[in-house]
A and B are shown apart, each in its own frame.
Chain A
Amino acid sequence: MNGALLDRLRSAVIDMDCEVATSTAHEIVSSGADIADAVLNGLYAGMRSVAERYDRRELFLPQVLASANAFYEAFDVLRPHLAIEGSPPGSKMVIGVGEGDIHDIGKNLVKVMVEANGISCVDLGRDVPNEVFLARIDEVRPDYIGISTLMTPTLLSVKEVVLSLTESGLREGRKLLLGGGPVTDQFTKEIGADYHGEGVKDTIVWLRVQEGKDGHT
């Protein structure tokens, strides 16, 4: 891989530049370069750098989401070529915001970083009814289930999803992680979830450990 192309791709993500990210991705595809290398050491590396600065509170969500836009625009160009190369399927996550809550910023941020760490995400969006969680989990058969809420009343919806997953047998063999302001370790334990992410960094570190990787974001 041409190091200059990788640098440009990584910088485009960090600089929130969708146009350069997309044009560089096309250039990489047409050059016949290693697509997996471009994704890993260009796109993912750029997004990890952004996430680290976010963790240090040097950046906030406007910049992170703008970088994520650049990430996804380039990723959409590269992704089909990854599939053609027949890379083995990685882990999957189904993620969504509990019913009764339309706050999806945190969920979106976790999704970006989960995908930047090589786990594919099926995003159910926000205000997701219990039955939609169950149907899509049954269909996708993910390794991880992520549910978030920013609102205290919606904790009841989250609990309902977990109970339904257990009763239906869909909970078995899957890691369940929760996030969002009102979620506590105690609540997580009470309803039988596996992990409560205080923030994006914690969540990604935990996921990487589950994946047998190092505990860095």
Chain B
Amino acid sequence: MMEMSSLERIQATIDGELPDRVPVVLFFQSAAQYALVRDDVTWCEVLNNPYKLYRNVLQQHERYGADNFFLPLDFRLTGEAFGSRCDYSMKCGGGMRMPVASGFALETPRDIDRLEVPDPLTAGRCPVVLKAISDLRAKYGSKVPIVGFLNSPPEAATDILKGGYSTVLPMMATDKAALHRLLGKITEFNIELGKAMLAAGAFTVASVGGGFNNLTISPDQFREFVAPYHSAVVKALGAPYCFHQCQDATPFLDDMVGTGAGAISFHELVDLGMVKRRFGAQVILAGNVGVSEGRSVMFQGTPIDVEAAVRRVLGEGMPGGRFWLSAGCEVHHALPEENIHALVRSAKKFGVYGGGR
């Protein structure tokens, strides 16, 4: 029996078939900087230079061996495309600095109607991302799926509107119509950027809901201000779409699945066994080895602990297929690298189905 390529493995899960083994799909954010440090480049350089971005994504894949190429979670991309400004000032370990919004495209919600939807082929750093995808596709695309990243519309709104979450959250209670108009514009942009990513060679796109979670908004608010905008992107793209929700997504699971996303990804706080029973036949599940909590196994554990955790997660997620092994959230820079290796190694060791070409 031949070993599948990463792309074949992922495609099998999408087709509802059993692959040779469980795919490992990791979403790198600040852990991508291990490669930056080795190359002696900064976040500013890598996010503004297509070759350096390409090289960074490639190094993550080659070093850790996950089954996807993942463009780093670039949360500032959309805000910058709409005209917000970023400074590379936020400490993220090892003397590195990630971008943070420092100037906003909109001063107040009153300005929303004058906001123009930018062209993703030319706006901000989008051309850098598209070129990196295109270069990855040209060299490796037939073997490894490339995952592009689209910021969730409400999250992007906090980068566009001055005041961030402190402005956007109250609008969900007192200025709903204006917020919907802003989210509509961001979604319009996401659809076009997603199409451009797919045209450049991305296999799928992923999106992350971070600050709008069970600790901050109600299921009704998620249903009104989050889910429909993901659903619109899913419908327009017609390609696999992975929707990750931070914190405890349990109250939102029905709505996440209802978006039509091909895969949903969730935090370690979510009961994977329960999700598997309820949704395992409908949608691919991606998760959820502990990475975010203060005592999470990927952060505080040893490689042996990680192996045990992977076995537990595989035991719940693997039966019947339609499962990607992943961390509960982004793979961040405070994780010991040996734990990232342990996660991938353990999946290859214990995640075998025995299918294949």
Contacts and interface: CB of A to CB of B under 8 A. Distances in A.
Interface of A: 16, 57, 60-63, 65-66, 68-69, 99-100, 102-106, 108, 127, 129, 151-153, 155-157, 181-184, 186-187
B166 interface: yes
Contact of A105 (B91, B211, B292): B211
Contacts of A157: 91
Contacts of B30: 153
Given A100-B93, A152-B299, A184-B294, 7 more contacts: A68-B170, A103-B165, A103-B210, A152-B296, A153-B332, A155-B334, A186-B295
Contacts of B210: 103
Interface in B145-176: 164-166, 169-174
Nearest to A187: B294
A100 B90 contact: yes
User: Chain B interface mostly helix, strand, loop or mixed?
Assistant: loop
A100 B334 CA distance: 12
A153 B93 contact: yes
B293 interface: yes
18 contacts: A16-B170, A99-B90, A100-B93, A102-B90, A105-B166, A129-B91, A152-B294, A152-B296, A152-B332, A153-B93, A153-B333, A181-B247, A181-B293, A182-B294, A183-B294, A184-B294, A184-B295, A186-B294
A43 to B, nearest CB: 17
B44 interface: no
B216 interface: yes
Nearest to B175: A66
A62 B333 contact: no
Contacts of B217: 60-62
Given A16-B173, A60-B218, A65 B166 contact: yes
B100 interface: yes
Contacts, number: 91
B221 interface: yes
A152 B334 contact: yes
A105 B169 contact: yes
A62 B170 contact: yes
Interface in B278-313: 291-296, 299
Contacts of A105: 165-166, 169, 211, 216
B100 A102 contact: yes
A37 B211 CA distance: 37
A60 B91 contact: no
B211 A103 contact: yes
A80 to B, nearest CB: 24
A60 B214 CA distance: 9
A104 B292 contact: no
B226 to A, nearest CB: 12
A62 B294 contact: no
A125 to B, nearest CB: 11
A112 to B, nearest CB: 11
A184 B174 CA distance: 34
Interface string B328-347: 00001110000000000000
Nearest to B300: A152
B7 interface: no
A33 to B, nearest CB: 28
Closest 7 CB pairs of A and B: A62-B172, A153-B334, A182-B294, A66-B170, A62-B173, A66-B173, A61-B216
